Chains A and B, each alone.
Chain A
Amino acid sequence: MSEASPAKAYALHLGVIALLFALSFLLPEYYHGLLARIMVLAVFAMGYNMLFGYVGLLSLGHAMFFGAGLYGAGLAVIQLGWNVPAAFAVGLGCGAVLALIIGLLALRTTGVAFMIVTMMFAQVFYLLILYFAVWTGGDQGQVVPQPARVLNFGATSLDLTNPTVRYMSALALFSLVLLVTLATVRSRYGRVLVAIRENEERTKMLGYDTFSNKLIAVVVSGAICAASGAAYALLFGYVGSSFASVQYSILPLLWVLLGGAATTLGPLIGTLFMYYVIDVTSGYTSAYLLIVGVALILLVLFFPKGILGTIRQRWLGWLP
């Protein structure tokens, strides 16, 4: 992989952000709403990519971090009546603390064992949501009341249920996480993560504390996923256990694999692709998951490193 000048990489990412901003004024109403949702879930995928793509740790339990953000923020509003910024902070904090605890335990394992341990913890988290149904609403979930989803700045207020405000909020979160991800992977710390992925023993031998570096990556990854979950609860008004189920641990993996693991923009591409394939094909047949499956097989055959990963390998070696 050849190295891009920082200006080139940042220009590309700022260009993507500018394009998404412009799309807010160009897209038809339905796709405008859908893209807001996709950007929030792309943040989830970016959080996953941080650990899977750059550290090489395949987790099957990231739904618990998304769920921690979702329930942390949602319940802070529903049960405690807290305002939006406080609730978002609670969601983010819940995800980060959970990631720290899970990281401390799960990082004692690697490979398949890491997958299984993370999946088991996520299952525990999911069952706890069902067990404490009195507060969480169990499998039915709960609505975050519309009047509470307002962001107050002194005399002015922003209604998060307004489509434009929602889109711009999603874009702001997406942009922030995208730029933080880019800065992280281009930093010295990012190179250490890639070194761990490529050869952990050699990295250790060079004097790096790989456990601490991996733990920080788990916490950052968990916090980003929690930010996505918190934003989902506050922007779309629903917290439900299905978002903490195993399906939502597998989805970010698929999105990242599709878009290109260890590429900064791959998670967005993968999420967009999956969403649109499902949205379009479900209009024609109830067997749309079959079509999704075929599309995935074709992608694996012709784009084995995901869409952006393959483009980087074949044509644009400088892509971050």
Chain B
Amino acid sequence: MTDKNGFFDLSKTTLSRRTALKGLAAGAGLAVAPGFVRYSQAQSSAPIKIGFQSHRTGIGAAYGRWYEKTTAAAVKAINAAGGINGRQVEVIIEDDGTDPGRGAEVVGKFATQHKTDIVFGTLFSHVVIGSAPAAGEAKIPYFVVSEGHHVASTKLNRYVFQPGITDVKSQIQSMAPWIAANAGKKVTQIFPDFAFGYDHRDYLPPALKAQGAEVIAQIAIPPTESSFTKYFPQIPAETEVIYHVMVGPAVLTFVKELGEFYGSNRPQLFGFIDSLEAVDINSPGLEFLDGSHFWEGSPRYAQPDDSAAQKAYRAAVGIDDNGAAVGDPKDVSTAAHMFGCWETLYVVKKAMEDAGYKGPEDRAKLVEATEALTAFAEGPEHPQGPKTFNGKIHQCFGIQNISKVEGGKLKVVHKTKIEDGLYEAEGDYTKQAL
């Protein structure tokens, strides 16, 4: 029997047009089969991986813990609303020990082992500066929540951004008008003798001078100091305001000894809440702060005029009206800073969506899309308040809060304007190659 149509004739090797079309059709059929669909979508629906460089141990551990809580809450909210570009967000955490050497290794680990899309979340300045070269070399966007001026100084590189929290130069500049108008014109600064203190030492005098006030003395205290009484006689008698930014465990001793030195007849006190982040304002020894004022990025205590977005943010993160963990009043949060994690993640979301971000091959596009952002409206994504963003220096600018210690709570008495904190750009990252 012969096969007339030659369908089974293996000797016939010529590929006819009809056979070719059949083959193509079969191939197309396979391509649209359910199994293939699942495979091809695997890449586009795989989670966006965010490498969280966390201070789990070392000096930054108290901050790190609350940065993790805030980040987890933000990611939960983002994922519940559909994720980024329709993809869920996955956070991978590595501890940097609050150490710049380990920090750089962790950035390398995210880029080359975990293969995350971005690195995020670093607070301490020396870790940011130590890690920035590794991010620049790996060409992985590095979104920090540090408040240091190092990003805006344009001395890092094009891959480093700080879009979720204002920098210390801007914060200090914003405080000066209120201090000069309400606290006093003659200011004595007491600050720790290291970089955080130097930012205050360098930026406050010109800011106050512009407001017709002056710094009459600057007292730097070594970071290893555990008793402060011997420094207080250096405070000039005509001082109207003591501007203090002591940080670390010694702050309780500092306040107690300052109280013993002055008694009830003290100058005005103005400080940065950095000193007392994660510390209960009602701790024994802090009574002397009653009536004094503090800078706060975001208020620790719930305020009567809190927006719906602020209330929703606090509930999502799990802090009560006193800024402590819900269910554990002694676990005081780092509320003045940690909102930056929440807001930064929403900036990342916006920039990824603007860039049509698909994967690490689009990192350069993500950098350019972030640089193209100009403003963030107050709302659920930015509960601390509205912000502007300068893409040339990779830094956001926003409002600041001045709070008064009253009845064992911090009550916001003044909110600055965004314009109060603006300054001339010191460089332009966008001129650097990607």
Q: Are B155 and A143 in contact (CB-based, < 8 A)?
A: yes
Chain A residue, CB-CB nearest to B199: A140
Query: In whole angstroms, how far apart are the Cα atoms of A237 and B100 in the complex?
Result: 11
Shortest B125–chain A CB gap in Å is 5
Indicate whether A282 sits within 8 Å of B94 (C-beta atoms), given known contacts A138-B198, A141-B100. Answer: yes
Indicate whether A139 sits within 8 Å of B126 (C-beta atoms), given known contacts A133-B198, A282-B94. Answer: yes
Which residues of A pack against B, CB within 8 Å?
Answer: 28-30, 32-34, 37, 130, 133, 137-144, 146, 161, 236-238, 240-243, 279, 282-283, 286, 288-289
Q: Are B133 and A140 in contact (CB-based, < 8 A)?
A: no
Q: Please name all residues of chain A whose beta carbon is closer than 8 Å to the beta carbon of B133 when the two chains form the complex.
A: 143-144, 146, 161, 236-238
Chain B residue, CB-CB nearest to A41: B101
A142-B155, A242-B130, A243-B101 given; name 4 further pairs at CB < 8 Å.
Answer: A141-B130, A143-B157, A146-B133, A242-B126
Q: Please name all residues of chain B whose beta carbon is closer than 8 Å to the beta carbon of A243 when the two chains form the complex.
A: 101
Shortest A208–chain B CB gap in Å is 40
Give per-residue flags for B98-141: 1 if the beta carbon is below 8 A from chain A beta carbons, else 0. Answer: 01110011001100110000000000011001101110110000
Query: In whole angstroms, how far apart are the Cα atoms of A29 and B133 in the complex?
Result: 17
Q: Are B101 and A242 in contact (CB-based, < 8 A)?
A: yes
The contact of B195 among A139, A236, A279, by CB within 8 Å, is A139
Q: Are B105 and A34 in contact (CB-based, < 8 A)?
A: yes
Q: Are A140 and B94 in contact (CB-based, < 8 A)?
A: no
Query: In whole angstroms, how far apart are the Cα atoms of A301 and B113 in the complex?
Result: 34
Query: In whole angstroms, how far apart are the Cα atoms of A17 and B368 in the complex?
Result: 43
Main secondary structure of the interface of B (DSSP, over half): helix
Query: In whole angstroms, how far apart are the Cα atoms of A146 and B99 in the complex?
Result: 21
Query: In whole angstroms, how far apart are the Cα atoms of A29 and B115 in the complex?
Result: 10
- Residue B261 at the chain A interface, CB threshold 8 Å: no
Q: Please name all residues of chain A whose beta carbon is closer than 8 Å to the beta carbon of B134 when the two chains form the complex.
A: 236-237
Query: In whole angstroms, how far apart are the Cα atoms of A37 and B112 in the complex?
Result: 15
Q: Please name all residues of chain B whose beta carbon is closer than 8 Å to the beta carbon of A140 when the two chains form the complex.
A: 125-126, 129, 148, 150, 195
- Residue B269 at the chain A interface, CB threshold 8 Å: no
Query: In whole angstroms, how far apart are the Cα atoms of A142 and B134 in the complex?
Result: 13
- Residue B169 at the chain A interface, CB threshold 8 Å: no
Q: Are A242 and B100 in contact (CB-based, < 8 A)?
A: yes
Which residues of B pack against A, CB within 8 Å?
Answer: 56-57, 94-95, 97, 99-101, 104-105, 108-109, 112-113, 125-126, 129-130, 132-134, 136-137, 148, 150, 155-157, 193-195, 198
Q: Are B125 and A282 in contact (CB-based, < 8 A)?
A: no
Q: Are B101 and A30 in contact (CB-based, < 8 A)?
A: no
Q: Please name all residues of chain A whose beta carbon is closer than 8 Å to the beta carbon of B193 when the two chains form the complex.
A: 130
Q: Are A138 and B129 in contact (CB-based, < 8 A)?
A: no
Q: Are B194 and A30 in contact (CB-based, < 8 A)?
A: no
Q: Are B95 and A286 in contact (CB-based, < 8 A)?
A: yes
Q: Are A143 and B99 in contact (CB-based, < 8 A)?
A: no
Indicate whether A139 sits within 8 Å of B194 (C-beta atoms), given known contacts A238-B133, A289-B57. Answer: yes
Q: Please name all residues of chain B whose beta carbon is closer than 8 Å to the beta carbon of A142 when the two chains form the complex.
A: 129, 155
Q: Are B100 and A282 in contact (CB-based, < 8 A)?
A: no
Q: Are B126 and A37 in contact (CB-based, < 8 A)?
A: no
Q: Are B150 and A146 in contact (CB-based, < 8 A)?
A: no
Query: In whole angstroms, how far apart are the Cα atoms of A140 and B149 in the complex?
Result: 11
Q: Please name all residues of chain A whose beta carbon is closer than 8 Å to the beta carbon of B148 when the two chains form the complex.
A: 140
Q: Please name all residues of chain B whose beta carbon is closer than 8 Å to the beta carbon of A139 when the two chains form the complex.
A: 126, 194-195
Query: In whole angstroms, how far apart are the Cα atoms of A34 and B113 in the complex?
Result: 11
The contact of B112 among A30, A138, A237, A238, by CB within 8 Å, is A30
Q: Please name all residues of chain A whose beta carbon is closer than 8 Å to the beta carbon of B129 when the two chains form the complex.
A: 137, 140-143, 238, 240
Shortest B364–chain A CB gap in Å is 16
Chain A residue, CB-CB nearest to B124: A140
Chain B residue, CB-CB nearest to A134: B198
- A to B CB contacts below 8 Å, 16 in the list: A28-B113, A30-B112, A33-B108, A133-B195, A133-B198, A138-B194, A139-B194, A140-B150, A140-B195, A242-B99, A242-B126, A243-B101, A279-B105, A282-B94, A283-B94, A286-B95
Query: In whole angstroms, how far apart are the Cα atoms of A225 and B157 in the complex?
Result: 29
Q: Are A130 and B100 in contact (CB-based, < 8 A)?
A: no
- What 10 A-B pairs have minimum CB-CB distances, sorted nearest first? A237-B133, A30-B113, A29-B112, A30-B112, A140-B195, A286-B56, A138-B195, A139-B194, A161-B137, A238-B130
Q: Please name all residues of chain B whose beta carbon is closer than 8 Å to the beta carbon of A32 when the two chains form the complex.
A: 112
Q: Please name all residues of chain B whose beta carbon is closer than 8 Å to the beta carbon of A238 when the two chains form the complex.
A: 100, 104, 129-130, 132-133
The contact of B108 among A34, A138, A141, A144, by CB within 8 Å, is A34
Shortest B432–chain A CB gap in Å is 9
Shortest A84–chain B CB gap in Å is 15
Q: Are A240 and B100 in contact (CB-based, < 8 A)?
A: yes
Q: Please name all residues of chain A whose beta carbon is closer than 8 Å to the beta carbon of B113 when the two chains form the complex.
A: 28-30
Q: Are A240 and B108 in contact (CB-based, < 8 A)?
A: no
Q: Are A37 and B194 in contact (CB-based, < 8 A)?
A: no
Query: In whole angstroms, how far apart are the Cα atoms of A288 and B99 in the complex?
Result: 15
Indicate whether A143 sits within 8 Å of B104 (C-beta atoms), given known contacts A133-B198, A138-B194. Answer: no
Q: Please name all residues of chain A whose beta carbon is closer than 8 Å to the beta carbon of B125 when the two chains form the complex.
A: 140
Shortest A69–chain B CB gap in Å is 15
Q: Are A240 and B126 in contact (CB-based, < 8 A)?
A: yes
Shortest A46–chain B CB gap in Å is 18
Interface-centre pick from A137, A286, A288 (highest chain B CB count, 10 A) = A286
Q: Please name all residues of chain B whose beta carbon is closer than 8 Å to the beta carbon of A34 when the two chains form the complex.
A: 105, 108
Interface-centre pick from B57, B95, B104, B137 (highest chain A CB count, 10 A) = B137
